[in-house]
Each structure stands twice: as structure tokens, then as C-alpha cells.
Amino acid sequence: MAKINLKTANPLTLIDTSKTEKLEEEPFVSKKLPERKENIDLSFTSTESFFDKAEPQTEAKDSNESFLIEEEQPETEEEETLQRGTYAVQEDEFNIFKSTLSVKKPFFIFGSIVLLLLLIIFIVYQLTKSGEEVATTKELPKQPLSTQLSETQTIKSKEVVLLPIYQQNLNSNRFLKNNLQNFINQKPGSADFSLIVMTPTDINLTILADSRDQIARFHMDLKKAFPSFGFRIIAVQPKSNKKIYADLSARVNPPKTVAPKPVSEIKALTTKNIANEFQSVAKKYGVQIQYFKKGNITNRITYSETVYYAYLNGRKENLLNFIGNLVESFPMIKINKFSIYPYNLEIITDNNLSTRLIFTYYSAK
Amino acid sequence: MNKQINSVSFHEDFVQWADVILDESNIVIRRAVSDSLPLIIDHKSLNQTESINQISKKLVTLIEQNSFSKEKVRFTFPSKFSLIKKIALDSTISSENYNEFIFFELEKIWEEPSENYQIYQLEKVEASEGLTEILILAVRKKVIQYFQDIAEFSGLELDVLTPSCFTVDELYRQLYPDAKGQTLIIGWQRRGYDIIISTPEQFIHYDFKPYNTDLNTIEQIDEEYLLSSFDLLLDEIQSPPVLDRSLFNIKTIVFYGYHFKAEWLDIIQAQVQLPIKLFNVDTNSAFQLKIQDALLSAENIFQFVEPISNIF
């Protein structure tokens, strides 16, 4: 039932748009990331203002499923030697400790009791902290931010089962990206886009026009410019007394075949580092992330699908480059939908635009 | 269990009051009146405290003349004073994030800063696989306050305040729960049509369409032109100009409104292939109608639909 009593109903609380305007002028990382300090892991602090808390059980599960299995192996001879050296020093220290144990036994027992007490106090203190703090601690990336941002790994054997999905993703994502570039760059001049929404199966365009005649003219021009798309006008809506929005829609079918992506070039993603990788690409192209949120998780037999959605701001070229890089670097994600529109909700120009992006991340179990 | 309801419907330049008793199977209309307002309720008068005083005085007079109760009075106001929109969202979006998408959609259509509005989320429907539709209502805070002030200045205990389109939709569902498909419910108002599209399952659409571009009143418009152009109106509702597809699949048309004349029904029916009827409480409805007001007849209930509709 749609009936409502405004006397008693609770209105919605909406987002503060002034925050978006303010963030536009601020570099995403430089002002939000705290300075790094020795022995303090600030990687959580760096992301908490932008990225939602993950579901604790999901994160706990993923911590055992990292793509970065090779990271634990020494990669060079030099590293191997260094590790052997470390083990040798530890062995010597253990022998000295063993030989003096009987002499220093009372001190050792006393010291152990003190350490035990300190440990108990620490645990009690942790437990008395708020539930929120405990939950967010679980989300902390365990690695320093700098290493997360630069990792390029070969995928593990269990991810091989996902290669066909990766190829499909890449195919679909490239199709979306190319369509976006084509529509933005080859738009007919008879009206301006106010919103572009693309999914793997549909393209929806909203234009802002002065009259219904102008809408009809644009429709004709669009058909000439993109004859393979059967665009239809599906809705018109007055914006004010002078302007009219028109929604045009077309069904699309991505091509079936695509060249496989070389496995060695695929950048590893996990539910832990996905936010930071996303942030890294955004920073590279001067795109500001307003938020990056985790959605539903669907578990399949051999893999799981996690939906993410993001809200970004940037100049037109920067956003297009950002999407292009995302598409080529991360075939484990499939873009479900993206929409591009101007800040002022009027028409798309080269200047500041906003993008909403929804994608699914595929990870092997 | 009997429930006595005093329901007031505000229109642009007149007001209707219905004193109704509702029980499980009967709607008893004890008294129903219409009276003109001393002013037009529009953007200008919404900003004038004096207009609240004038309307309140009119209500007090109506109460005194008809011995209406001041307790738990229900108000409807013209739906055109609100923004009503359906928003389609991906089902993957969790409900705690709906607000900003709602804001984004409304941002495109409202003409005042967003902080001037109260926004409400109404029905939520799984529209198709992967898509959720949310019905949104946005009303200027000034409008809500205006009608609350009228109640207060008149000494009325305001129980319900709502745009009329939702109560009209609700009354139709309650009276005709077995209706099939989409019903187009058209309210003939002073300067245009209230257009409501509804199915037994959900509220589909609301829009206000003026009779002409000059926003003339129904009395200023040539009657022949008005009636002969109804088929064009229907086309425009179902398939607006330049659209490549029909937006709706209307099965039945229902008319209501104080300004509609019963004799117009046959003239309009001759142009349109769909069944058209007046919004009365007939033998097929789920409730029986009993009228205790000697000045009112069962055939003219369609003219009092708005105040009567706010009884459920």
C-alpha cells in the first residue's frame, strides 16, 4: 500500500552534497592518508573514511584464501641468504639461552609471571573495547599499504578454473568501455547527454533538450551515427518549464569471442586488497573516490561472487582512462553497470563528472 | 467495529468535508459538503500566514454550520503539491544505501534546494530479476507545515495528512479488490487532471496534466474541445509523444472529481475503446454504501471521492 501519513511517517535522511563539492578539490590520497610512522600500521586508518566495513566472517574466510601465496617464498637468492642468516642467529641465541636457563631460573619464572599478567591485562583491555572497534580491527589489511599497491602476481592454480570467467569478463568490460568512449566522443550535436548508463545488455542515454522536436531530431541523428543500435525513446520528463529530459534505450549483445589475457599479467585481487588496488588506479588517473562499498556475496561451488559499488568524481578524460585501466588490469571483475553524469545534473562536458560503478568480483574458493 | 472519521480534502480553491462511519462492510456517509475557499492555494499563498488564517476561518464556519467533530480529523491535499516518482535500483544495492540513489533521482526534478523537501520511501517492489522499484514521495516542508498550521489555527486535532492520490488509490483497491490489470483513475480538478495508474498489487504512477498550456480552469475551457480531446489525452498518457513504446497497458478507466459532470461519460465513452465508469460505490464493490445526507446521492459519490477516500 502506498498510502502514507505525513504526520507520523519518518522522512529519509539524505547525503550531504556539500561534502562531494569539497572533496572535489582535494587530492584523494594525499590529504586523507596519514603520514607513515615507524612500527605503526596505518593502513586501516587510511581507508576507513572511504571504504565500508567488510562483513567480519567474510574477511576472516578470505584471509586464508589470498592470491598472494607466492609472497611467502623468497623470490631471490639474496633474500634466501638473508633468511638463512636470520635463522642461524636465532639458533645461536637459543643455545645461549638454554645454557644459562638453570642459573636464571627464578628470574625466568618471575619474568614469565609478569609477562603473563601483562598479557591478561592486554586481552581484558581489548575485550572491553567497543564492538565496532573490534569489528573494524578485523578489516585491517595486514600488509603495509605500499606493498598492497604495487603487487602484480601470477594467479594460483585454483584460480585457473576461473579463467573462462575472466575471459568473459574482459570481453564484456571491453565492450562496455568501447561503447562508452564511442558515445561520448561521437555524440550527435543536436542535444547533450545528461546521463549515460551502460550495462552488459543495455545502453541508456538521458538527454536534456529544449523541446520534443529537438528530442526527435536527436533520435534520428543518433540512429544515423550508431546504426547498429536500435535506440528507442522510452520516457520524457519535464525538468522545468523550459527543458525536457528524454530517456533513450537500446539492447546490446557483447561479441562472443575474445583473445585470452596472458595469465602472468593478471593483477592479483583479494577482498582485502581490492579497495586499495581500486584506490591506486583512481589516484593514478586523478579520479576521486567518494565511496567504495561491498554488496551481496553469492557463493558458488568453486568460487564466490562479491558485488562492489563505487562512486567517483573526475574529469571526463580521467574517468575514461580510469575505467580503461580497470578493465584491462582486472579481468576478475565484471562491470555490471556504470553511469556517468555531470555534477550539476545538466549536461556532460569535459569538466567534472560523477560515475557510479557496480561490479562483481569473482574469487576462487 | 464502527469508526467515525472526519475527513477534509483541500483543493486549489475549495474544500470538501465528509463525516463518515466505517465498519467491516459498510461505508455510512453522515454528511458531506463542499465549499469554496476565500483564496487559491498556490505557491504564493503557501508563503502567506494570512492565507492560513482565512482558510482556518472557513473551516471553523463549516464546523459550526454542520456540527462536525474537531477530533482526529484527516486531511488530504492536492497531489500536485508533491513529487511522486518510481525509482528502479539494482537489487545488489543494499537498502541502507537507497537514500543517496533516491536523492540523485530527485535532484533532477525538484526546483528548490533539497533541504526544503521531506522525502519518504513508500512501496518497494521486486520489479524484475535484479531490479527493485521504490516509490518515492517528496513534499516541500512548507506544504506540510501549511496544512498543519491550518489544523492548529482551526482548533482541529490533525490525525492524518496525506496527498490525495494515495488515498484515492487505496479506496479503489478496497472497493474493487478483484479488479484486473492497470486502472487509470482520473480526477477532474479545477485546472487539470489528476492521473493515477494503479493495479491491485501496487501503485504505479501519478501525474498532473493541465487541461491546456495556459492553465485555464475547467470553466474557461470549451466543453466540446475538452470532451472531444479525451482520446488524445489517453494516447499521451499511454504513449507520450516521441516515445517508441507504450508506458502503460490500461484496462479500465475510472473518473472522479467535483468538476466532472455525469452526462459527459457517454460522450467520452464513444471515443474510447476501453471500459469507463464513474468512481461510485456500486453493487460490485466490497463495501455497501449508506447515505444519511439528504443532499447527496449514491450516483454522485464520484464528486466526493477525495474526502471519502481517506477513511482506510
Q: How far apart are CA A351 and CA A342, in angstroms?
A: 8
Give domain status of residue B64, yes or no.
yes
**Is B244 in the same domain as B175?**
yes
Within 8 A of B112 by CB-CB distance, chain A residues are none
DSSP lists the bridge partners of residue B288 as B26
Residue B309 in this model has a pLDDT that exceeds 70: yes
Within 8 A of B100 by CB-CB distance, chain A residues are 14-15, 311
Give domain status of residue B304, yes or no.
no
Q: How far apart are CA B84 and CA A211, in angstroms?
A: 23
> Quick one: cell of B233?
489525452
- Comparing C-alpha atoms, which of A355, A264, A259 is closest to residue A314? A355
Domain total for chain B?
3
**Is B222 in the same domain as B188?**
yes
Contact A2 B166 (CB under 8 A): yes
Q: Domain ranges for chain A, please list them.
A: 74-143
Output the average pLDDT for chain B: 92
**Is B115 in the same domain as B208?**
no
**Is B10 in the same domain as B159?**
yes
CA distance A293 to chain B (A): 10
Task: Classify residue A197 by its DSSP letter.
Answer: E
Q: Which pLDDT tens digit goes with each residue over B178-187?
A: 889 999 999 9
Task: Classify residue A55 by its DSSP letter.
Answer: P
Q: Which pLDDT tens digit goes with each residue over A44-103?
A: 222 222 333 333 333 333 333 222 222 333 333 444 433 433 333 344 443 434 444 444
Q: A18 and chain B: CB distance < 8 Å anywhere?
A: no
Give domain status of residue B291, yes or no.
no
Contact A5 B100 (CB under 8 A): no
> Quick one: cell of A164?
573462462
Give domain status of residue B299, yes or no.
no
Q: Which pLDDT tens digit goes with each residue over B12-57?
A: 999 999 999 999 999 999 999 999 999 999 989 998 999 999 999 9
From A17-21, A357-361, B64-68, B244-248, the region with the lowest mean pLDDT = A17-21
pLDDT score for B100? 78
Instruction: Return all residues near A124 (Cβ < 8 A) that are at least 6 apart.
Output: none
CA distances (Å), origin A322, targets A169, A334, B57, B159, B163: 17, 15, 63, 54, 45
Output the average pLDDT for chain A: 67
Within 8 A of B137 by CB-CB distance, chain A residues are 4
pLDDT score for A263? 54
**Is B94 in the same domain as B193?**
no
Of B114, B121, B162, the CB nearest to A6: B162
Within 8 A of B99 by CB-CB distance, chain A residues are 12-15
Of A9, A13, A234, the CB nearest to B244: A234
Give domain status of residue B305, yes or no.
no
Q: Which pLDDT tens digit goes with each residue over A118-143?
A: 777 766 665 554 333 333 333 333 33
Domain that holds residue B268: 166-280
**Is B19 in the same domain as B88?**
no
Find which of A8-12, A350-354, B20-24 is predicted with most confidence, using mean pLDDT: B20-24
**Is B233 in the same domain as B120?**
no
**Is B18 in the same domain as B158?**
yes
pLDDT score for A260? 61
**Is B74 in the same domain as B85?**
no
Contact B312 A3 (CB under 8 A): yes
Beta-strand ranges (E) seen in chain A are 192-198, 202-209, 232-238, 244-251, 288-299, 303-315, 333-342, 352-364
Give domain status of residue B301, yes or no.
no
pTM over 0.90, yes/no: no
CATH number at residue B186: 3.30.420.40
Residue A267 in this model has a pLDDT that exceeds 70: no
> Quick one: cell of A182?
564511442
**Is B40 in the same domain as B104?**
no
Give domain status of residue B295, yes or no.
no
**Is B94 in the same domain as B14?**
no
**Is B100 in the same domain as B133?**
yes
**Per-residue pLDDT band at B210 (split at 50, 70, 90):** very high
Of A10, A233, A345, the CB nearest to B242: A233
Give domain status of residue B193, yes or no.
yes
Contact A3 B244 (CB under 8 A): no
Instruction: Return all residues near A253 (Cβ < 8 A) that are at least 6 apart.
Output: A201
Q: How far apart are CA A179 and CA A254, in angstroms?
A: 10
CATH number at residue B135: 3.30.1490
